[in-house]
A and B are shown apart, each in its own frame.
Chain A
Amino acid sequence: MISLKKRFLTELIGTFFLVFIGTGSAVITLMITQGTTPPNAFNIGIGALGGLGDWFAIGMAFGLTVAVLIYATGHISGCHINPAVTIALWATRKFPGSEVVPYIVAQLIGASLASFILAGVLGMNAVTVGGLGATAPFEGVSYIQAIIAELVGTFLLMFVIMGAAVDKRATPGFAGLSIGLTVAAVITTVGNITGSSINPARTFGPYLGDLILGGTNLWNYYPIYVIGPIVGAILAAFIYQYISSEEKLPAGKVIRE
């Protein structure tokens, strides 16, 4: 197996690109729509160009990045690029506990670097107008509703990871494509509810960047993006394991040929 040091670097690079490309698409959408008058309080600017199409575009930016990163680095580090995925794989005893913390640290560093470099290349408007793509519940969405939305979104993501990649019966070669499309689909719908993080690292980077660079302090919302994704991913992993396992024959009914 590739050394932990190299896998650490791979996770860092993967999460960097996920956050740079993914949140970058949200930041740029907000910068493009700056000055337009949103039709209602449920519209923060993403949606002003093409309604749900804006969220689809942002979802595809995330989804395509996830897909190509899986094909590029999946065999090196496993391409988790998401603490919720790392923890769910550990919970189902597929990933060693001793490597959980290094993986999560790498993901958080990669995400943070991406947010700072995004601010560097776009200027302070990325912070003041785009909020570095930080996620927060939308108008009328309660804390609990937001947690449930993140839970449901991450459940689907982890469920597809289990079915399309972990399960040895999965069709070979389609994991990246199916998981990338899942991310895009989840963001298209959950985007205008919570920002659709489904990844604690993806929210950590913009939150840290906003805090240090003078943007809005949103850390009181961070538990939403930790609890929802982690609980959703663990539930999905265990439920998939249960529904996909074969029934064991009773001892007295063993068939011999």
Chain B
Amino acid sequence: MTDQSQTRRPPLIRLLLVLVPLAAMLGAFVWIASLDPLRGFNNGAPPVEALTVERAILDGSGISLKVRAGGSDAMVVAQVAVDDAYWSFTQEPAGPIARGDAVWLRIPYPWVLGEAHHVNLLSNSGATFGHEIEVAVSTPSATWGQLRLQAVIGAIVGLLPVALGLMFYPAMKGVGRRGMNFLLALTVGLLAFLLIDTISEALELSTEAAAIFQGSAMVWLAALASFLLLMAIGRWRGNPEGIALAFYIALGIGLHNFGEGLAIGGAFAAGSAGLGTFLVLGFALHNVTEGIGIAAPMLRARPALWTFAALTLLAGGPAILGMWAGSLAYAPQWSALALAVGAGAILQVMVEVSAYLVRQNADRQATLMSPAVLGGFLGGVAFMYATAALIKI
């Protein structure tokens, strides 16, 4: 009855009811803009200026910087000094840089291989914006040899460990209820580590991005959105289990590995990675557990052989894509966004694997605190933490 008590208005009236507040809002904006009520606060202070260096490319023609402006007015880069020496430069496109816009600054500076350089950008008001090039190395360009080399490293840190982990499948197949619980909890544990790691990396990257991207908010909201979307998709037809759940885990881990690839590729580009064999092996060992985690929910199913290949590609392949993207088109805000999406995906599979684990056991509450589950979870976190020590520089 209460639903019916509201009378249905004719469409024209309903449209009008929307248009009136919209028109009022528009009118108010025009009025405020023309009145400029903030004029009274004008105390002669110079405009707020902000410049963010998003990308640095070093090659035979010198140093190129991609610079994004974020001031209250359009900004002018008046002079560029490298290592406390004013240097000639060109700007593409030329002219004042509007808020939110990015330009390239080309500086024909003879940088020195393996040494640090400091670039200082002077605006027309004399404000300075520094950018540190910690180790100068030639920025990788999109040559065939370069792409292939990165693909090999991407395969070693992404594809290989997942494949190795999945090879434990036959051995895991015979485990009983407690063993199964242990493996599923282990999966949740390693995912928990990845979640924390991914979020903190995304937040760290987002601080390097221009303020206009609102890094922290962007990371949390992107993670939330990706979590909700994947949850909705996953539960389209009931709770994901078995092979389907394995694919969701592979997707979440794949997105994480994409972020990991971005980080390695970005480090390549920035010259900070003397990416030794030790480091690559560390990544591989770190990621072996990912294969075990993917295999865990399929123990009651009968997956075809191609399933394993597909899972490996989905979970490990993005590491290669990430390497390419990270070294060739690095920008802190996009890397942070990719990592945040990955974090949402990881949270989704954590929820689904936990739900699956609980459903597998009749005595639900007791199961969660059982030695097998707690041991698996903590073991997963601890293993990831320990192996991460190998790869953190």
Do the two shown chains form a genuine complex with each other?
no
Please give the residue numbers on chain B whose beta carbons come within 8 Å of chain A beta carbons, in ascending order: none
